[in-house]
Amino acid sequence: MEEFIIKGGVPLRGEVTPSGNKNAALPLLAACLLTDEPVTLRNVPQIRDVQAMRKLIESLGAAVEELTANTWRITTRELTASHLDPELCRRIRASILVAGPVLARSGGLRLPAPGGDVIGRRRLDTHILGLRALGAKIEFDRVFDIQSNGLRGADILLDEASVTATENIVMAAALAKGETVMHNAASEPHVQELCRFLNILGAKIEGIGSNTLRIIGVDHLHGGEFTIGPDLLEVVSYIGAAVVTRGEVRIHNAGVEHLGMVQQVFHRLGVHWQVEGGDILVPAEQSLTIASDLDGAIPEIKTNIWPAFPTDLTSIAITVATQANGSMLFHDWMFSGRMYFTDKLVGMGARIILCDPYRCLVQGPTQLYSEKLESPDIRAGMALLLAALAAEGTSKIRNISQIERGYEKVDEKLRALGAQIKRDSE
């Protein structure tokens, strides 16, 4: 097992370019199963979750050719299997995303329950209800048995605005007969990317960016090319790294058009940045003073569905708050295990009260000190890496494969910014 060794207290300085969006790459790779013609994807992030998805689609009959490290050509002449490897499915939550494409193209599959981060219960009911509305027959006994004699469009009201369920249903509806109208659909940037990609391949999807999608089914999708946008979670992670180390970092191609709410939330933590074209410049001078509510009450940062503050950035924001002057209540109602990493920050010197599984109160600023840590999930792992960069002394982070599921060459990028971080084997 590999680990990171980080000497903290070094201000980051320089420029960095984020990799392609993991949360877009995974459904886009699954969507390549919908056509028998070649599809070229550019800016594919070289991360563990993407490699796992590649193995999944290859096991179903896709041929993946690396034109460059980050440009792949995927051709699925035919689907050659209907059973998925349980071990592969356990590696990533996104394994569920092959259900819609395979169901639409071949009529059925057996899908083991997906894995992914251990951050609390993550229900799959919305996927099943939506695919059943399109005509699928689904049974579950530790493995999903999904069959169809032909999908037909339907009027669907999702019981929650699930990102992956929206993506699954859109992919299935793209080849269903007739019209599908999906209400309460998720509208995150990566959902928008998937819809635009499908339209490039010949799908007919309207309402992109809204919570109501209209999909007119077509008989066949053709090939095409698409460039994956920047990973916004990585962008904000490097913003946080610059802030907690009191450094100055320019982030190129930062997807600034999607960061409005994140900028509002970080402004409440006393963080500001400058937008210069498509770049973000994080200056070294930050007030890092938490803004109280108008009545003087302790402010709250609460996650919600897009375009509100995303749950995946909670861990990063909590770490930044440990270095800000004042108190902030964090409330992530989506996942019961999201906050449990905070005990590791407390062990480094942070003042955090875990109110319940969904809320914690952070009081800062505090000097963080080095510690031996373990990465529990992708986002908490990156948050602990930020804490180690800010801490006095030398920290070790074990189980870095969790971080590398979502961040490409994170140690190389941080070293290019001046961080004293190296990789070692335990």
**Which residue among 36, 49, 117, 332 is the active-site one?**
117
What is the arrangement of strands in the sheet containing 108-112, beginning at the earlier edge strand? 108-112, 143-147, 137-140
**117 part of the active site:** yes
Residue type, 407: Y
Contact 326, 290 (CB under 8 A): yes
Closest CA to 233 of 44, 388, 406, 389: 406
Q: How many CB atoms are closer than 10 A to CB 71?
A: 15
C-alpha atoms less than 13 angstroms from C-alpha of 294 in its C-beta half-sphere: 0
> 281: which strand partners?
250, 274
Closest CA to 186 of 217, 207, 216, 215: 207
The secondary structure of the chain, three-state, reads CEEEEEECCCCCEEEECCCECHHHHHHHHHHHHHCCCCEEEECCCCCHHHHHHHHHHHHCCCEEEEEECCEEEEECCCCCCCECCHHHHHHCHHHHHHHHHHHHHHCEEEEECCCCCCCCCCCCHHHHHHHHHCCCEEEECCEEEEECCCCECCEEECCCCCHHHHHHHHHHHHCCECEEEEECCCCCHHHHHHHHHHHHCCCEEECCCCCEEEEECCCCCCCEEEECCECHHHHHHHHHHHHHCCCEEEECCCCHHHCHHHHHHHHHCCCCCEEECCEEEECCCCCCECCCCCCCCCCEEECCCCCCCCHHHHHHHHHHHCCCEEEEEEECCCCCCHHHHHHHHHHCCCEEEEEECCEEEEEECCCCECCEEECCCHHHHHHHHHHHHHCECEEEEECCHHHHCCCCCHHHHHHHCCCEEEEEEC
Residues with catalytic annotation?
A: 117
